Amino acid sequence: MADTQFSVTTSPHLRTTVTVSSAMRDVLYALAPITLVSIYWFKFNAVFLIAVCLIVAMLTELLFRKAMNKPATLKDGSALVTGLLVALCSGGCSAWWVGALATFIAVGIAKELMGGLGWNRFNPAAFGRISVFLLTPFFYWLGLAFSPLQASFGGLDVITSATPLALLKQGTALPDLGSLFLSFPGGALGETSALALLIGGAYLLYKEHIRWHIPVSIVAGVFVMALLFGDHSTTPFYLTPFYHIFSGGVLLGALFMATDWVTSPITPRGRVIFGLAIGILLMIFRLALGPTEGTCFSILIMNAFVPLIDRLTRQRKFGEAPARPAPVAVKPSLEKSS
């Protein structure tokens, strides 16, 4: 009898059913509504761009891990999430190779070269997107250099097409807030519907993959900054913040990119600091510098501060507050009567 062998491990012996792969799958589900809306508006362009980004993401991960002699991790699904996010950050009329390059940088450099999922300090999708944005002048130079060869690189539309924000800046007629909220084909694929993003975000909240702190504090930061410093000349004072929140990459960033597990703080207090800082930074970008890419830039900047935020917001230990003196009187009952 004594030789009967069962597996012996330390407790706990139960595990939740949620794994990294199942969580990544949930993120893909959550991105489905906005993906569908973007396909509705940009048709084949969107389908093609998304497909290219997904395929490049997987190939890049395979390639890098193979080159570094590491086991394949495609089944964790994180490459697909990064690929899809890069596509959604790209403009509806972007050339396919811009998306492909951004994805390659995102997965290959920002994730795999940093050690793979879990070790990356910066949000891969934001990193990839910002890299191609910064490389724009180089692409123009390339285009000029190769123009004698009649080589076509497709539309050099690295910068997203006129977003409602750009329109706001130019003073052009604006879409009304309602259509901005429901669906409006300005800007990047992932900026076509606030509603679709909110539905996806609600799903992630329900699944407890994200917590409310980061999205809410980003939106709060944007709201306050827009109220205080926004351009109220074309819109009523109280509506300006909503234009800022529902347009551009705010919601995509707040719900899906800033909440990235690996690159966001681990404590509730840290998440609030992180979110507020992103909201404020992105409004500084928008109001002072230029109408595009503020969200991705702000997220990357704050990614760099995460270790510091984590250190500064360590949670108080249980029972650290001085113990209340034991009251002699019986305290009122905690429960409701049945």
Partner 1 sequence: MAVSIATFKGGVHPEYFKELTASLAVTPVEPPKQVVIPMLQHIGAPCEPLVKPGDRVLVGEKIGESEAFVSAPVHATVSGEITAVAPHAHPSGQMIEAITIESDGEDSWEQPAAVEFDWEKLSPDEIRRRIREAGIVGLGGAAFPAHVKLAPPEDKPIDTVILNGAECEPYLTADHRLMLEQPQQIVTGLLIMLKILGAGRGIIGIEDNKADALRVMRQEIEGRPELKVASLRTCYPQGAEKMLIEVTAGRTVPAGGLPMDVGVVNHNVGTALAIARAVTEGRPLVERVVTVTGGGVARPANLLVRIGTRVGDLLELCGGMKEDTGKLIIGGPMMGLSQPHPDIPVVKGTSGITVLSDEEFELEEATACIKCAKCVDSCPVNLLPLFLAEAAEHGLIERAEKYRAADCIECGCCSYICPARRPLTQWIRLAKAEVLKRRRQR
Give residues in contact with partner 1 (CB under 8 A).
Answer: 1-16, 18-20, 22-23, 73, 76, 115-119, 208-209, 211, 261-267, 314-324, 326-328, 330-331, 333-338
Q: How far apart are CA 60 and CA 47, in angstroms?
A: 20
Coil/strand/helix, residue 261: coil
Closest distance of CB 210 from partner 1, Å: 9
Closest distance of CB 43 from partner 1, Å: 35
Residue 139 or 212: the one with the smaller Cβ distance to partner 1 is 212
Residue 16 or 233: the one with the smaller Cβ distance to partner 1 is 16
> In sequence order, what DSSP letters do the residues of 169-201 get, joined into one string?
HHTPPPPPHHHHHH----SBGGGS-HHHHHHHH
Q: How far apart are CA 110 and CA 116, in angstroms?
A: 9
DSSP 190: G
> In sequence order, what DSSP letters do the residues of 51-109 get, joined into one string?
HHHHHHHHHHHHHHHHHTT----GGG-HHHHHHHHHHHHSBTT--HHHHHHHHHIIIII
Residue 155 or 268: the one with the smaller Cβ distance to partner 1 is 268
Closest distance of CB 275 from partner 1, Å: 14
| Residues 128 and 103: beta-carbon distance below 8 Å | yes
Residue 17 or 233: the one with the smaller Cβ distance to partner 1 is 17
Closest distance of CB 258 from partner 1, Å: 14
Closest distance of CB 119 from partner 1, Å: 6
Q: How many helices (H) and strands (E) does the chain have?
A: 13, 0
User: Would you state the structure tokens that stand for residue 89, as one six-digit string?
Assistant: 């950050």
Residue 233 or 333: the one with the smaller Cβ distance to partner 1 is 333
